[in-house]
A and B are shown apart, each in its own frame.
Chain A
Amino acid sequence: MPDKPRSQPDSIDDTQQLLSDGDYVASRPLCTAIFLALRMGRPLLLEGEAGVGKTEIAKVLAQTLDRRLIRLQCYEGLDIASAVYEWNYSRQMIEIRLAEAAGNESRQTLEDDIFSERFLIRRPLLQALEPSPMPPVLLIDELDRSDEPFEAYLLEVLADYQVTIPEIGTIRAEQPPIVVITSNRTREIHDAVKRRCLYHWIDYPGSADELEIVQRKAPRAEQALAREVVAFVQKLRAMDLFKLPGIAETIDWANAMVELNRVSLDPEVVNDTLGALLKYQDDVARVRGDEATRILSEIRAELSLTH
């Protein structure tokens, strides 16, 4: 790989350090996948439940590697006009009117003129491929929300890092951007896209990792409170809930406790704040009350054993 930008990590340990500098606690497997994606110049496809920190990775990479972050949020019907480029039609019309008023331009020159880069509106994918001193981080968020035609279009972009604009020609990135694709798996991404990416499934973290995350992301929470919060959430994840709380919810909850000036959990405050953790009424109804009290006494017992 010639001309490697200076700040790219040289090893998996480096990668772990890099993410840690950006306050992202990453497991070794995830670091391996990120390191390989960076070094092999491949897009990284991250799947996992909502709220496990998929999008955050792209942000942290952009911040620690000092790159620009270009984000493309996917949705149904996302098309080339909003993902790649669009012509500035009103300016084109004015240009045509002006040329007609002047009356001296031939049709061919006019056509060449109004379909020149001057009238091009650059959307995220095109921005990511444009020449820049440091290739940016391109985040294609929630690809599963887009439809199959857009995925098919993405193939050209991901395989060759180029897009074709019929009126101008092919625009190719001199240095490939760092591409991070996330999916919540509301549908299966096509194999052809997957084949071009490195794949990693982000799971919910274990207690130790989650505690470290809470301490970094909610530093105002006391150690004892953070321990209880994490233990409680870990217990919830073992239950048969419709939507398990993610890391984002854990951090929210810890922050909520801080705002309420709590130093430890008690059944009352848990019941009042369950909405920060669980987002479905069925789940809230199941946990609220006796169940919450039971979990609390369980984690009390366990935490007092370990200390």
Chain B
Amino acid sequence: MPTATNSRSGYLSENIVHFARALRRAGVPVGPDRVLDALHALTLTGIDRRDDFYWTLAALFLNRREHFEMFDQAFGLFWRHRELMESIRPGSEEADATADDSTIPGQRVAEALGLTREVDLLEQAEPDQTGTAASHAEQLRLKDFDSMSSAELAEAKRLIAKLRLPIAQIRTRRLFPSAHGRLIDMRATLRSSLRGSTDIIPLARRTFRKRHPPLVVLCDISGSMSRYSRMFLHFMHAITNDRDRVHTFVFGTRLSNVTRYLRHRDVDIALGEVSRAVSDWSGGTRIGATISEFNLRWSRRVLGQNAVVLLISDGLDRDGGAQLNESMDRLRKSCRRLIWLNPLLRFDGFQPIATGVRIMLEHVDDFLPAHNVDSLAELTEALARAHQAPFKPPA
């Protein structure tokens, strides 16, 4: 039931191609195969009704909900002046101009959230590398991130990049062949019984495959953590690229999912992207509010398959512990294991005095220090063990 004449559908297809390109620039991945599909789909639905046209393109060009906003804005801008099939001109400059227009949502987001300070800090760390402080790795491993020079920081980053996180593997329900497995693989057994010529049928066995549980990292990037947060970003980058199923979030006054940025292999590009995407660096902390936001918006999506949660924070809450009790309780119930890394734990006489710290301590499975390379390395051992005794403040 295509209603368009040939030349008209020619204009239309060109405009669809431009529209797809605009979407791509705005950050919605639309493959060329999808464009062909869209053209086919439009011959089926027709282009008489604007809403049908809209939802046809939506069904073809979208494959996750987050992109919907972007699509909606781009659609509005791109097809704004075009009464369908009336004023469409093929591949004109106007089309390109409108296409640029439609990338604004993406750019606007980036610009509005762009933060230059952290980028500067990260860049400052590099030029000093040749300074006098090219100290021994051994010494460096014990030094607090807080008191490192930028050159030492650079060296520490290299050490962190080598860290691996052996969280104990868990048994999945998927089977694979194994000589000493508990279960008998009937299929393989029958196959092999036909192969040999003896009367004895050797039993083939199989067992459950093991794999790492998914890991979710929630990292505090507020002012009190500012000296550490850069190192933790490096740490998060290292573990994100070491295994699959890692989700990373940073929070200060609000929560941002930075998983996608940290997946970039190159650590500098990855951290650059993170700084651009996150707006609340080195501000206050609202731990309770951000954790309950995580519970509401993300927990069902990322904690579904028995995830381990790493919470990196000093526990100093600007809100004085509001919502903290309920949200931590919910978080602990939703995950396999909740591990709190606290850089303040380096002080021998650490006492959980702050309200936030006291509340959070009641809800975590493990409470571990994380203030230098060595403690992060120890962390890898601690996490490999099944369970830690809960933290007891010194008497």
Known: A92-B190, A191-B63, A194-B63. A36 touches B56 (CB 8 A): yes
Are A242 and B60 interface neighbours, CB within 8 A?
A: no
Chain A residues 112-157 with CB under 8 Å of chain B are 114, 144, 147, 149
Interface set, chain B 178-214, CB cutoff 8 A to A:
186-187, 190, 193-194, 197, 214
Which residues of the other chain, B, contact A39 by a CB distance below 8 angstroms? Answer: 44
Report whether A195 and B31 are in contact in the complex, using a CB–CB cutoff of 8 Å: yes
- Name the A residues within 8 Å of B55 (CB-CB): 28-29, 32-33
Is there a chain A Cβ closer than 8 Å to B330's Cβ?
Answer: yes
Select A147's contact among B1, B37, B172, beta carbons within 8 Å.
B172
A76/B190 in contact, CB under 8 A: no
Q: B301 contacts which chain A residues (CB < 8 A)?
A: 185-188
Please tell me if A102 contacts chain B, counting CB pairs below 8 Å. Answer: no
User: Is the Cβ of A147 less than 8 Å from the Cβ of B64?
Assistant: no
In the bound complex, residues from chain A placing their C-beta under 8 Å from that of B64 are 188, 194, 199
Residue of A nearest to B187 (CB): A87
Give the residue of B174, B194, B326 whose beta carbon is less than 8 angstroms from that of A77: B174
Asked if B59 and A201 make an inter-chain contact with CB atoms under 8 angstroms apart, the answer reads no
- Chain B residues with CB under 8 Å of A240's CB are 296
Q: Does B65 contact A (CB under 8 A)?
A: yes
Partner of B56, one of A32, A87, A144: A32
With both beta carbons as reference points, the residue of chain B lying nearest to A200 in the complex is identified as B59
Near B by CB (< 8 A), chain A positions 190-208 give 191, 194-195, 197-201
**Chain A interface: which size bin?**
35 or more
Interface check A111, CB cutoff 8 A: yes
CA distance A243 to B87 in the complex (A): 47
Return the CB mask of B232-259 against A: 1 if under 8 Å, else 0.
Answer: 0000000000000000000000000000
Q: Which residue of A lies closest to B214 (CB)?
A: A187
Contact B45 A12 (CB under 8 A): yes
A33: which of B59, B214, B300 is its contact (CB, 8 Å)? B59
Known: A92-B190, A187-B305, A188-B64. A40 touches B56 (CB 8 A): no
Bound-complex Cα distance A96 to B195 (A): 13
Given contacts A47-B65, A89-B186, A147-B172, contact A282 B60 (CB under 8 A): no
Which of B52, B173, B174, B186 is the one whose CB lies under 8 Å from A12?
A: B52
Chain B 142-157, CB within 8 Å of chain A: the 1/0 string?
0000000000000000
Q: Is A232 an interface residue (CB 8 A)?
A: no
Contacts of A57 in B (CB 8 A): none
A201 touches B326 (CB 8 A): no
Closest B residue to A111 using CB positions: B194
A243→B270 CA distance, assembly (Å)? 34
Does chain A have a CB within 8 A of B40? yes
The winner among A36, A39, A76, A282 for most chain B CB atoms within 10 A is A36
- CA of A194 to CA of B44, assembled, Å: 21
5 pairs from A and B in contact (CB 8 Å cutoff)? A28-B52, A36-B41, A77-B173, A77-B174, A96-B190
Known A194-B63, A197-B63; further 20 A-B contacts with Cβ < 8 A: A32-B45, A32-B56, A35-B44, A36-B60, A45-B63, A76-B305, A77-B174, A79-B175, A87-B190, A89-B186, A107-B197, A114-B194, A147-B174, A185-B300, A185-B301, A186-B305, A187-B302, A188-B64, A199-B59, A199-B62
Which residues in B have some Cβ–Cβ distance to A below 8 Å? 1, 31, 33-34, 37, 40-41, 44-46, 51-52, 55-56, 58-60, 62-65, 68, 172-175, 186-187, 190, 193-194, 197, 214, 295-296, 300-302, 304-305, 326, 330
